[in-house]
């Protein structure tokens, strides 16, 4: 079981999940399940900075772990950096195989930073290996409509978005930054 979640310590407090989420996404129910097909559909969580995307995706990851699934969390920029490094040392195939096997791959801060053609090729390799077998959960403050133009090669952009967007459940968060609201509560003069 692998979980490297920035907010992993706070995510368990979002438990049990609200009935609306549990009925739509059964993998995130707090009771153990033995349904291997539960985590095969992608999910995209969108929202402005501070809206709770990372918290929610980590809570989903925590619930998946509680249900016996394997989970990996990566900030997208760090994963792409890692893939560049392992390509240089010859262990790319092993890392791609590992990413393909994990039941739920969480990619946070998706499309926040500029990517190269090589990054896009790496993303496509990861998504292609996972498509139809395992779930990928994306958290992004960048609207889906802007993703295509952020990928430097239109053919790669089409392929990536085809594997990710068309079959994904979407959750759109709204509201003021939770960090800002928390600061107002703890620092009255902020």
CATH number at 122 reads 3.40.50.300
At residue 55 the predicted structure's pLDDT band, cuts being 50, 70 and 90, is: confident
The residue that leads in pLDDT, 49 or 74, is 74
CA distance 113 to 44: 17
35 occurs within a structural domain: yes
The residue that leads in pLDDT, 51 or 143, is 143
What are 106-138's pLDDT values in tens digits?
999 999 999 999 999 999 999 999 999 999 999
Query: What integer pLDDT is reported at residue 49 of this predicted model?
Result: 87
Query: What integer pLDDT is reported at residue 4 of this predicted model?
Result: 44
1 occurs within a structural domain: no
6 occurs within a structural domain: no
Number of domains forming the structure of the chain: 1
Residue 35's domain comprises 11-186
77 occurs within a structural domain: yes
**What are the angstrom distances between the C-alpha of 32 and each of 15, 24, 84?**
13, 16, 37
Question: Does 9 have pLDDT greater than 90?
Answer: no
45 occurs within a structural domain: yes
3 occurs within a structural domain: no
Residues of 58-91 as b/e, b for ≥16 C-beta within 10 angstroms?
bbbbbbbbbbebbbbbbbbbebbeebeebeeeee
């Amino acid at each position: 079981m692998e979980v490297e979640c920035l907010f992993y310590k706070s995510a368990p407090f979002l438990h049990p999940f609200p009935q609306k989420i549990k009925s739509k996404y059964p993998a995130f129910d707090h009771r153990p399940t033995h349904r291997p097909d539960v985590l095969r559909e992608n999910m995209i969580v969108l929202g402005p900075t501070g809206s709770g995307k990372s918290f929610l995706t980590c809570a989903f990851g925590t619930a998946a772990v509680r249900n016996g699934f394997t989970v990996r969390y990566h900030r997208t920029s760090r994963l792409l950096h890692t893939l560049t490094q392992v390509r240089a040392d010859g262990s790319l195939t092993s890392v791609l195989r590992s990413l393909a096997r994990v039941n739920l791959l969480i990619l946070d801060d998706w499309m926040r930073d500029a990517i190269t053609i090589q990054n896009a090729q790496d993303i496509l390799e990861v998504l292609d290996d996972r498509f139809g077998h395992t779930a990928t959960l994306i958290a992004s403050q960048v609207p889906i409509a802007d993703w295509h133009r952020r990928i430097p090669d239109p053919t790669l952009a089409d392929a990536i978005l085809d594997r990710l967007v068309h079959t994904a459940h979407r959750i759109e968060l709204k509201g003021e930054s939770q960090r800002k609201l928390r600061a107002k509560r703890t620092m009255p003069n902020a």
